[in-house]
Amino acid sequence: MSSLAAMLKAPGALIECDDDPEAVYEFLCSKGWSDGLPVIPPTPERVERMLAYCDRDFDQSVAKIPPRYGAATPIRVAANAVMAGCKPEYFPLVLLALEAMAEEQYNLYGTQATTHPCTPMLIFNGPVAKEVGINAGSNVMGNYFRANAAIGRAVRLALVNIGAAIPGTGDMATAGTPAKFTFCVAENEDNSPWDPLHVELGFPREASTVTVVAAEGPHNVNDHESLTAEGILTMVAGTMATTGSNNAYYAGQPVLAFGPEHAATVAGGGMSKADVKRWLFDHATLPLSKFSKEGIERRFRRKQAGQFADAPLNTPVHMWAKPEDLIVIITGGAGKHSQYVPTFGNTRAATRALKRADGQLVKSIQELKRA
């Protein structure tokens, strides 16, 4: 392993500027190295502290981030994590998320460069999420919680600063989404009536995982009235079934993030997660007639001719390709709300477990602390 000191001697590794906070902010914004908000200056001392829980070689790339295909080395990612406000304990989770996003099925290039407003939604499961303080309760998709804010922000800064996802040249989003600042949640496993996502996917319960989804911002489902599973799901299905969703055209894996109270009502009606997915697949549909004439002709009759060439206008259009493609999690606090999260469509979620260098699952972040 190259020493950190040696790496910092490489040409361009260090840049000097006035250490006044406002001057640093101005400097980083002028270089295009911020997300527009103030950042913590990534001094060598801070970067070194950020790497305190990194058991990788600091200069070994864990992912290539398009469109520049920049090497996401721990030292580079650590600089972005410092800027984002991460604690060193968060750092292995930032790295894990980037590794997951680099899996081919995620389509990182497409999600970075597209005009669609997608961004990585990070869903954490397992004990480490709770240990480092990733919020899974009230306001889970909102502000206030450092781990949620900083981990998602660090990922976004890495996508910009290492991958060159620069609006208008590398990130061609027409409008983007506020979720591009951060979109990081933990599943509220303690208040779930079902197995958590990582267990459903075949990971041991004691594993700590991240699932990355190329997501839009969340769409709220308000239902204070329904008393039954079918009632809640009817309201969810109505929120899902929209003509402008990429998932109606490109499949993909949208996310239903039940609030715990809605989940309890649905599970209380005897429904499993698989039942929920099947029910919503069948009911979150729109008749073909709801789309524009041009959309029907071009998007359905020609591009999906096998299914729609001669289909009558009352033919149901499903909002994703297969029932099991829907990702169902429980997150958030008290209240009669759930969230629907559509995706880029041409992407699959990727899930990775946090492991030590010897391949063993990490059960506590302290296992990764460097001597």
Partner 1 sequence: MAQLRRRGLIAAVVCSDTFMKLGTAQAKVFGVPDLPLLKIPHPLGGLNIEKVRERAAAALPQLLKVVKEKQS
Among 113, 157, 248, 361, binds partner 1 (CB under 8 A): 113
Amino acid found at 164: A
Which window, 4-12, 166-174, 190-198, 236-244, contacts partner 1 (CB under 8 A)? 166-174
Q: Please tell me the distance from the alpha carbon of residue 342 to that of residue 118, in angstroms, as a whole number.
A: 9
- In whole angstroms, how close is the CB of 261 to partner 1 at the nearest point? 41
Instruction: State yes or no: residue 168 binds partner 1 (CB under 8 A).
Output: yes
Residue whose CB is less far from partner 1, 12 or 168:
168
Q: Is 110 in the site for partner 1 (CB under 8 A)?
A: no
Applying CB under 8 A, the span of 88-96, 165-173, 318-326, 335-343 interacting with partner 1 comes to 165-173
Q: Binding to partner 1 (CB under 8 A): which residues in 68-87?
A: 68-69
Per CB under 8 A, the list member of 38, 133, 170, 193 interacting with partner 1 is 170
Residue 159 binds partner 1, judged by CB under 8 A: no
To the nearest 10 degrees (0 to 180), the angle between helices 146-161 and 91-101 is 50
Q: ω into residue 254 within 30 of 0, thus cis?
A: no
Nearer to partner 1, 73 or 182 (CB): 73
Helix runs in the chain, H state only:
4-8, 21-31, 44-50, 74-84, 91-101, 108-113, 127-132, 146-161, 197-200, 229-240, 247-250, 260-268, 273-283, 293-295, 305-308
Q: What are φ and ψ of residue 283, in 5° steps? A: -105, -20
Query: How big is the site for partner 1, counted in residues (CB under 8 A)?
Result: 10
Q: Site residues for partner 1, window 28-67 (CB under 8 A)?
A: 66-67
Contact between 363 and partner 1 (CB under 8 A)? no
172 binds partner 1 (CB under 8 A): yes
Tell me the C-alpha distance between 25 and 17, whole Å: 10
Nearest approach, Cβ of residue 351 and partner 1 (Å):
28
Return the closest-CA partner of residue 155 out of 193, 115, 122. 122
Q: How far is the CB of 162 from partner 1 (least distance, A)?
A: 13
Q: How far apart are CA 149 and CA 181, in angstroms?
A: 8
Alpha carbons 224 and 272: distance in angstroms, whole number: 22
Based on CB atoms, which residue is closest to partner 1, 117 or 260? Answer: 117
Q: Which is nearer to partner 1, 166 or 264 (CB)?
A: 166
Among 77, 164, 179, 251, binds partner 1 (CB under 8 A): 164
Q: Are 110 and 171 in contact (CB under 8 A)?
A: no
Looking only at the bridges linking them, the beta strands covering 184-186 and 119-125 are: parallel
d(CA 100, CA 363): 19
Closest separation in Å from C-beta 172 to partner 1:
6
Q: Which of 169, 304, 307, 366 binds partner 1 (CB under 8 A)?
A: 169
**Residue 73 vs 114, nearer CB to partner 1:** 114
Of 29 and 172, CB closest to partner 1: 172
User: What residues have CB less than 8 Å from 269, skipping those under 6 apart?
Assistant: 228, 229, 230
Q: Site residues (CB under 8 A) for partner 1?
A: 66-69, 113, 164, 168-170, 172
